[in-house]
Every structure is written in structure tokens, then in C-alpha cells.
Amino acid sequence: MKKVFMLILCVTFFVGMAAAQTYNAGTGLTGIDILGAHNDGGRGCAGCHAPHSGGRGGGGNIGNGYNGALNNDPNSGNDALFGQDLSPLYGYTLAMGDGGRYTETIPAFTAGSDEIRGIAMCLACHDGNVAKGGMMTNYAYEQRMNLLPSGIYGNAVHIPTLLGNDGSSAGNYNNDHPVGLAANFGALRLGTYLTVTFSASNAVSTITPTATASGTQYSNFLKNYGMPAIEGTSWSWGLANPEGNTNQNNLYVTCTTCHNQHVMYIYKGAGKTAGTAIQKNGYYPSYFFINAPYNPGAWNNYTNSATQAPSTTQFCRQCHFGEANEAFGVNNVTTVF
């Protein structure tokens, strides 16, 4: 029911090697420390997790820029030993997507809360508006280090990494994907295709395809891709569950539904759903800390791309299934990983 946090990685020496290196399912970056950008300039794990004394153990300069107060968060380090100052975010409301219709108010600190672990801890560094981390340049690491697939992304404009300070008006989250209680299973209308069984402890236990009059449409999608972000990893559920909830429509998206903050460029198959295209224990290319196969470079190199869907498109369709091939009865378009 619980999970942990964030997003990006690499080194210029590997640029020339990237195109020639392969996983068992496609081409991507290899041979680089998987933590990548989250090595935080050499601080490593302690850039986020303070082994002793919270932010004070890292030098005490937490909260810098927030009303001039330092060491403002009495709970710094008290959950997952997370050593950043979350106090600017408590009670802060983000209005995301579609003119801000999906609002999420960050609650007060509660150890183990998915809203804290899966949203607030990410924003402690990636907000840039009220939570102003001092270690970020607002420039995607892969782009800055020339590690992105050739010809896929432009270079004139930096890909921002601060949501609330991305070059538009400060505090604008309308252009950010919704997360939080309003960004839920019901809003996605996934109940038509998936059903959730809850365990006695009210933690999500299984998410399975639902049979429909036209067959198991989502099952066909699983055969061509899978649902790694929805079902989560072997150590964490993808969709968060409010405490005590047993209504599948209330399962909600967090930052860590889509991102694995600990691994920038590899997805390892969790093998939780049988019959998916993503093989158990398989390793798949990914970028931007996406917690699923997500390779923008593979499709353009494939000779029969018209009959293949790129993993970058399939990744979105696992939640936005109304736009999937299988929802329209097209079942023979497989995935390029």
C-alpha cells in the first residue's frame, strides 16, 4: 500500500556507446550507474535520505528560501529518513491539468502516507515554487549530458525539471500531469476494463482485467504491453490507496506511480500479471526514471513501425485505455520496446 519517491541520469562518455548497446528487449543506455541524476552531484543516497538527524545531519540548510527560516520542518528525516524540508508544502494546493481542475492539497506530515511519500517528497526537490531545492539546475540531466536518443528531442529549449517554476508563470501546475486524490481510478474510467480486489488489511491485493461483451479488451492490451505503472513493482503498488479504502474508484496516481526515483534508465519486469508482453525478470530500456518500458528511440529504428506501437505510447495507454488499439478491437499491434 505504500511506496517511495521521484525522477532522471548518466555521462557523456557513453553517448557514442548508447546506440550500440542493447538489452534483451531493445536499445537504450547501459553500463551507467542506475541512480544517475539522483546521485545528486556525488552526495548519492544521502542527497535524499539522511542517515542521521534529518536535514540537520546534512548540514542544516533545509528550508532555505522559505520565509528565511532554516530547519523549519520538525519531521525532517522521520519518514524513510527523508532529509529535505517538506514544511513549505504542508497545506499547499496544486491545481493540475485541464485548467487546474485536478486539485491536490498536501496534507500535514504522516509517516508512511502515500501523499507524503509519493508526492510531497518528490516536490521537495522538483517543485521550484514554494519548495526551492538548492541542488537543481531545472535542466533534464539526460538532455544536458547529450544522452537522449538522436533526433528525438530538440536542443534549443531545456527540458525543465521544476514543475512550479518551469519557465511559464511561477506556480503554474496546469501544465503538469495530475496526481493526488482527484487523479483517481474513477476519473480515468478504468472500472470498465479493470477490477480491483482488496485484501483484509484494505491494501490493494490484485488488479485484474474485466470481461466485456466484446471480450477481454484489456487482456489483449496486456499481451501487447502490460500495466507496470498500475500494478506497481514487487515492493510497491503503483496506484496509491487511501487509508481504509475499499472502493476501487478511489485508488489514485502519485508521482511514483509513473516514476521510480531509484532507477533512471532500466525497467525490470515485476511479473505480477501473467500473460503480459513484459516478461518476468526481463530488463527493458527506459528514460526519465519512468517506472516501465519507455524507449523513445526504438520505434524510429524499426522497419515495420506502422504495425508496432512504441513503448512510449503504450505506457500512457495503460491508464488512458480509451485511446488504446485494443479498445477499438485492433489486437495485432504489438509493442516496440
Measured in whole angstroms, how far is the alpha carbon of residue 167 from the centre of its chain? Answer: 22
The sign one gets for the Cα dihedral 236, 130, 136, 145 is positive
Amino acid (one-letter) located at 201: S
- Give the mean model confidence (pLDDT) for residues 97-110: 95
- In this predicted structure, the answer to whether residue 66 has a pLDDT above a threshold of 50 is no
Q: In angstroms, rounded to a whole number, what is the distance separating the alpha carbons of residues 211 and 201?
A: 26
Cell numbers at 38, concatenated: 539522483
Which tops the pLDDT comparison, 273 or 7? 273
pLDDT at 9: 32
Question: What tens digit of pLDDT does each residue of 12-55 get?
Answer: 323 333 333 335 456 788 889 999 999 988 888 988 998 998 87
| Kind plus residue range of the DSSP H or E element containing 93 | strand 93-96
pLDDT of residue 210: 83
Q: Count the alpha carbons within 13 Å of 320 in the hemisphere toward its beta carbon.
A: 8
Confidence band, pLDDT 50/70/90 cuts, at residue 302 = low
| Sole residue written with cell 536535514 | 55
pLDDT, position 235: 66
Whose grid coordinates read 488489511? Answer: 201
According to the model, what pLDDT value does residue 266 have?
93
At 281 the pLDDT is 81
Q: Report whether pLDDT(312) > 70.
A: yes
